Every structure is written in structure tokens, then in C-alpha cells.
Amino acid sequence: MKIGVFDSGLGGLSVLHCAQKLIPNADYVYYADEKHVPYGEKKPEELKGFIKEIIQFMIDKNVDAIVIACNTATSMIDKSERKKYPIPIVGMEPAVKKAVDLYSNENKRILVAATPVTITGDKLKGLVEQVDRDNMTDLVALPGLVRYAEQGDFSSDGIITYLKEALKEYDLSNYGTVVLGCTHFNYFKPSFQKLFDQEVHFLDGNEGTIHQLLRVLPNKLEKKEKGTVEYYFSGDKLTEKEHSFVQQCLSQLDVVYSIN
């Protein structure tokens, strides 16, 4: 069983990390579109072109299923389009429904953070209209965090300064939940928490996405202990330096990102 996982960059490693925990015996192909990151600040037509190319790349690699480990990319390709491909393609969206279902009874607001493309897109607006009847959510774009993650900076003071500035219009004492609606943001839970005096819940779509993958996977998981991962940056194999950078990101996820 071979599973393709792709993102604009290093955020999707958090989805790969989760997939490896829940489906350890699969082999993975991870594709980071480093030539075109950040997706969250590009035009939809351009993004659609990149995504189609990556899906074809994965199909050529003979994967059995594809995970779009990127909320921004998912919002560019709807379910009916995904169904045109010969293999299952699973996407992800900000976990707004889960946040409302689990925590709206706490009477605290829900902050949904994502990229500008996701925040201004119709897909997220539609989702919020559908699930947030009591108007508990606020949406905020935090493109700067994608840049920090891509530089391998997960905890500098600059991140806190950036977040404080980006969130200065919000009274953070009113919030009980933060939805991490961009896979790059999973690196920054500790930085986010520092902004709040109260403990907040963090929600992302990773586990839900992998559970969905398990539902659609063809039934051919081999009985081996641990699968392999091949990494590509925009179609190219990684240099040694890039490979060790990816490993550094994965170890960071071991520290800040746990699955239940």
C-alpha cells in the first residue's frame, strides 16, 4: 500500500506524522511544493494548475490513494473533481464543525486561523454558515506563520510578536478554542498558547483526515511493521541538507504535536 501526501511545503508533514502513527505499515510519498510555497497568497487558477500536476505525479508513482495535506489546496478542488481520478483523494478543511460540536457549550469564542486564500474563500464561509448558528467563530488569516515554518523557525520571539500584532484587535480572554486551519500552524501550538492567559483547546483536521483515508483505502495493507517514506520537493529528490531539514521538522512535531 502506497499513500501520496502533499502540501505546499512542510506543514503537511504533520499530516504525514499522523498517518504514520495511525497507518504505520503503509509506504508514503511526501511531496512539498517548495517552488510554489506559499499557496495561501496565490491566485486560485495558478493553484489549481499546481495541484493537478502533483496529483498526476502521485499517480505516476503508483500510489493507491492521495491525501491533500493542505487546507488551501483542498479548497481549490471540490469533491466532484476529485472523483474524476482513478484513485481516492482525501482532502482537509478547518475543523470548525468539531470545534462547535465539542466546545460551543463552554460559551467561549472560537478563533479559526488559516491562510488568506482559505479565510476569504467561499468554502470556509459556507462551512461556517452551516455549522456556526450562534455566531461563535472569528476567522483570521496568519500568512506569516507559513514563512516561519518554512524557515524552520518554530519558537522565536519574532513569532510571538507577529501573532500579537496580527491578533491585536481580538480580546483574547474571550476565546476558548483555536482551530488550526492550515497544516503549517501545527508547529506553533506552544506559541499560540503563550498569547492566552487561559488554557485553550487546539483543533486541527489531521486525525479526521486520516480516519477518512482509512475509510476509502483499498483493502491491501501488508503485514509489515513499518513502511518507507520517499520525499520530493516539487518533483525533485531531496538533497542531504533538505532531507535533514525535513527530519528536524518531524522531530519538532514529535514535541509539539500529539495525537490521541
Which residues are designated catalytic? 70, 182
By CB under 6 A, tell whether 38 contacts ligand DGL: yes
Cβ-based burial of 216 (10 A; exposed 0-12, middle 13-18, buried ≥19): exposed
Return the residue of 184, 200, 249, 252 that touches ligand DGL, per CB under 6 A.
Answer: 184
Q: How many chain residues touch ligand DGL (CB under 6 A)?
A: 17
By CB under 6 A, tell whether 11 contacts ligand DGL: yes
Stretch (H or E) spanning 212: helix 206-216
By CB under 6 A, tell whether 7 contacts ligand DGL: yes
First to last CA, the chain: 24
Stretch that binds ligand DGL, among 154-162, 181-189, 232-240, 244-252 (CB under 6 A): 181-189
By CB under 6 A, tell whether 9 contacts ligand DGL: yes
Residue nearest to ligand DGL (CB): 40
Three cell numbers written together for 134: 450562534
Nearer to ligand DGL by Cβ, of 116 and 214: the residue is: 116
Nearer to ligand DGL by Cβ, of 137 and 183: the residue is: 183
- 55-74: which residues touch ligand DGL (CB under 6 A)? 70-72
- 141-170: which residues touch ligand DGL (CB under 6 A)? 146
Nearer to ligand DGL by Cβ, of 47 and 136: the residue is: 47
Quick check: helix, strand or coil at residue 41?
A: helix
Cβ-based burial of 39 (10 A; exposed 0-12, middle 13-18, buried ≥19): buried
Return the residue of 4, 17, 30, 40 that touches ligand DGL, per CB under 6 A.
Answer: 40
Cβ-based burial of 142 (10 A; exposed 0-12, middle 13-18, buried ≥19): buried
SS (H, E, C) 117-167: HHHHCHHHHHHHHHHCCCCCEEEEECHHHHHHHHCCCCCCHHHHHHHHHHC
- Reply yes or no: is the peptide bond before residue 38 cis, omega within 30 of 0: yes
User: To the nearest whole angstrom, how small is the minimum distance from the Cβ of residue 151 to ligand DGL?
Assistant: 13
Which spans of this chain sit near ligand DGL (rule: CB under 6 A)? 7-9, 11, 37-40, 70-72, 115, 118, 146, 182-184
